A and B are shown apart, each in its own frame.
Chain A
């Protein structure tokens, strides 16, 4: 398996623009997690899904952030409109519930909002 795949790896955009981050979890995994990483706040859980259903979105910072999982192999995290303070590395991770609780992370998307 290729692991968790995120795209794009880097995104540079201007304030006010819409940003969409994409994630393909490991095949067979039923949990998907979105994290944001910054120097100040570390790794923060934004939202997670189980069987494509959002379970906990309490970490989503504002209504500008939204996440979807239309099927078991694809999820998006959207920021609209983006702001400079959204600049961070965004990670997607997936795990399989019927075994260990290990989350496997993608390589991340580095977002810069100018």
Chain B
């Protein structure tokens, strides 16, 4: 079946640097994409989302880029802070249910 997957299982960055977390999806019918952050012992927390009629969306310190041609999604975090250390999940949907990727662990070092 079609699936959502992540390129990098772990990412280590220095505090203050920019982070880029990548995600590949295979369902060409997906029209909604979303990023979640999960800290240890907590549930996934919404970060930012994007619909397929857009290729870029910005939030506070975060940007999501969508490339439908190559079915690729990325999350950019500007000026990464220690509090950004967590597991990040991308998910895609063509309805109301979300299909989650495996997650990328982001570690921010001082």
Chain A contact residues (Cβ within 8 angstroms of B): what range? 20 to 34
Check A50 against B96 for contact (C-beta < 8 Å): yes
Check A100 against B101 for contact (C-beta < 8 Å): no
Contacts of A93 in B (CB 8 A): 43-44
Count of chain A to chain B residue pairs whose CB atoms are closer than 8 Å in the complex: 50
Q: Which residue of B lies closest to A103 (CB)?
A: B98
* Partner pick for B49 among A42, A43, A91, A100, CB 8 A cutoff: A100
* A interface SS class: strand
Check B97 against A102 for contact (C-beta < 8 Å): no
**Interface positions of B from 64 to 110, Cβ below 8 Å from A:** 89, 93, 96-103
Q: Which residue of B lies closest to A41 (CB)?
A: B102
**Interface positions of A from 2 to 46, Cβ below 8 Å from B:** 4, 31, 33, 42-43, 45
Q: Which residue of A lies closest to B93 (CB)?
A: A101
Q: State in angstroms the CA–CA spacing of A101 and B103 once bound together.
A: 20
Q: Does B45 interact with chain A (Cβ within 8 Å)?
A: yes
A72 to chain B, nearest CB (A): 16
Q: State in angstroms the CA–CA spacing of A50 and B95 once bound together.
A: 12
Chain B contact residues (Cβ within 8 angstroms of A): what range? 20 to 34
A101-B32, A101-B34, A101-B49 known; A43 and B89 CB under 8 Å? yes
Q: Does A74 interact with chain B (Cβ within 8 Å)?
A: no
Q: Could you list which residues of chain A lie within 8 angstroms of chain B, going by C-beta atoms?
A: 4, 31, 33, 42-43, 45, 48, 50, 55-56, 91, 93, 95, 97, 100-108
Contacts of A56 in B (CB 8 A): 97
Q: Does B42 interact with chain A (Cβ within 8 Å)?
A: yes
Q: State in angstroms the CA–CA spacing of A42 and B38 once bound together.
A: 12
Q: State in angstroms the CA–CA spacing of A107 and B102 once bound together.
A: 19
